[in-house]
Amino acid sequence: MKPGIDDQSKPQTMIQEKYTKRYQNLKVAEALSNNHFYPFACNELSSIIDLGYSQLPKDLKAFIFRDCLSAFRLLPEMNTSAAVSAANLLVKSVESAFPKQKKNLAIVEFKQAKVALKRRTKSHDEHIDLPSLPQDILVHIFSFLDVSSLLSSSQVSRSWNQATSEGSLWRSLFDLHFSHKVLIHIYPGIDWREAFKNEYILYKSSKMLRSGRGYCSYCDSVVWHDNLRCPKKQCRLKSGKKPLDLMLTHQVVNYLLGTTSSSDESDSEDEAVRGLWAYPTLQ
């Protein structure tokens, strides 16, 4: 063993391991099998591929490739158009960045998934009448939903629309998202939905929620947030009502690759956001 060569290769492999370890900590693969996180995970993969595939160490490339394949394989089970969109986007990233052989394999997998998906949607054609749920049950069900799902539900039908206008739903959402940073004057007859909406726009929540990611200071890691909280129980207990710091996808990619690229969004608002990229060095 020549000591000179060893010394040279060691730091390199250490760096490589660091990236791979970070990637594994991100738990992208697990998220893919979850119905709720699948679109987020696909988007993250797309971003990682777009922003830095060529720089990745070899074994990390292999992981990414493997995860892309499993993303396509899992697509038929995800029965939403959001999932299909995300997969389409992923395929486009794959097309532009992957080397020929891997690209072809991935595309084959994707096409198979599309076929399976088509078959699935065809088999669902029973026209039964479902019993209509009473309003208070609907409200109870909606109390478990996140903002986007709640708004989707409000557009479904008249009875659902009525149920979504229930103030308590919006109040608890307001609490969840903003109570730690907004003081609100509560008066009788307050329209919680309006209040929520105003804060939502003000804090650009729609942008921040796009990634599904947050940074938990208690476990010092980038996690898939579960309703704005860390999925780990201890962290939830410690943090109480305080939600996670939400992260944007490009910030997650920056963390993974150790880069400082900003997102496509050029607005000067990014000034504030860019400062967040430098999370304490995570292993």
**Which is nearer to other proteins, 139 or 219 (by Cβ)?**
139
Q: Which residue, chain included where needed, has tokens 């995300």?
A: 86
Of the pair 58, 158, the CB lying nearest other proteins is at 158
Query: Nearer Cβ to other proteins, position 211 or 221?
Result: 211
CB 39, min distance to other proteins, A: 4
Interacting span for other proteins (CB under 8 A) from 64-72, 74-82, 174-182, 252-260: 74-82
- Write out the binding residues for other proteins, residues 198-237 only, by CB under 8 A: 200-202, 204-207, 209-210
Considering beta carbons, is residue 137 or 237 the nearer one to other proteins?
137
Does 99 contact other proteins by CB under 8 A?
no
User: Residue 91 CB, nearest distance to other proteins (Å)?
Assistant: 6
Query: Among 48, 56, 74, 91, which residue interacts with other proteins (rule: CB under 8 A)?
Result: 91
- 254 in contact with other proteins (CB under 8 A): no
Closest CA to 176 of 236, 124, 232: 236
Residues 101-140 interacting with other proteins (rule: CB under 8 A): 107, 114, 124, 127-131, 133-134, 136-137, 140
- 146 touches other proteins by CB under 8 A: yes
